[in-house]
Amino acid sequence: MKWFNSHLLFNINQELMSVCSTERDMFGQIESFVIDQSDMNKNPQKQNIKINQYHEEKPQSINDILPVEIHPNQDNFRILKSAIEIAFPDFDFSYASPDHFVCINSPEEARSSLSWALSSYFPSATDLCAQVWASLESEIQPALCDIYSYEPNCADAFSAMGAVWKMSYLFYNQKQRKVLHFHLREGGRAIESLSDDDELDIGYEFDDEGSRNWF
């Protein structure tokens, strides 16, 4: 899976950074990833064992009777987990399981949630919601995506950084073989930031050890 930046994403991330710098202890960023053929062909047997073990050990709860459709299938889960791991390379996500990702019913629901969060935290940035969604429309076409909210029921990268609130949405366009990750949080240090010296349209590929390499 390769991370890439575009002029559009660069610009909207600059806008998010500018707004976050004036409102509370906020951090927001949109990242996009291109899926390699090797990602599509990975043998899920090892991961399936982990998933099965997790569900065998998991206590009975109300989640056990919810429809399977509210969580990704195993193929989608592998893609989503890979995107999260690349977004936060210094954090261990080996514990992650499909029920840490919740399916969003429609692009409209996703837009409503994102708009609520942005307008609540940045009430003075009246055009920000429209700008962010326009960027998503251009980069990933939400209407053609499987959309998930990352909602782990245990400690994760965000809470480890001291975040008191977070929103993390992943848009998976299978036809384009792309994943777009929108995340916004209050509290916790920024994992990385963009600067004027950052290059555009740069791609990275990650080896099996999770190292970021130029290509």
* 70 compared with 161, residue with greater pLDDT: 70
Mean pLDDT confidence for 131-142:
96
Query: Quick one: pLDDT band at residue 163, thresholds 50, 70, 90?
Result: confident
Mean pLDDT of the residues in the chain: 78
Nearest in space to 200 (alpha carbons), one of 17, 14, 21:
14
pLDDT tens, residue by residue, 31-83: 999 998 666 655 544 444 343 443 444 444 444 544 446 999 999 999 999 99
Q: What percent of the chain has pLDDT over 90?
A: 41
* Full DSSP string of the chain: -EEE--HHHHHHHHHHHHHHTTSSSEEEEEEEEEPPHHHHH---HHHHHHHHHHHHHSPP-GGGGS-GGGS--HHHHHHHHHHHHHHSTTS--TT--GGGEEE-S-HHHHHHHHHHHHHHH-TT-TTHHHHHHHHHHHHT-GGGSEEEEE--SS--HHHHTT-SEEEEEEEEETTTTEEEEEEEEESS--S----TTPPSS-EEEE-TT--EEE-
Banded model confidence at residue 30, pLDDT cuts 50, 70, 90: very high
CATH number for the domain that contains residue 159:
3.40.1000.50
Q: Which domain holds residue 111?
A: 2-214
* Selected residue with higher pLDDT from 161 and 64: 161
**Confidence band, pLDDT 50/70/90 cuts, at residue 94:** confident
pLDDT band at 153 (very low <50, low <70, confident <90, very high): confident
Share of the chain above pLDDT 70, in %: 71
The confidence score (pLDDT) of residue 41 equals 59
Report the domain count for the chain: 1
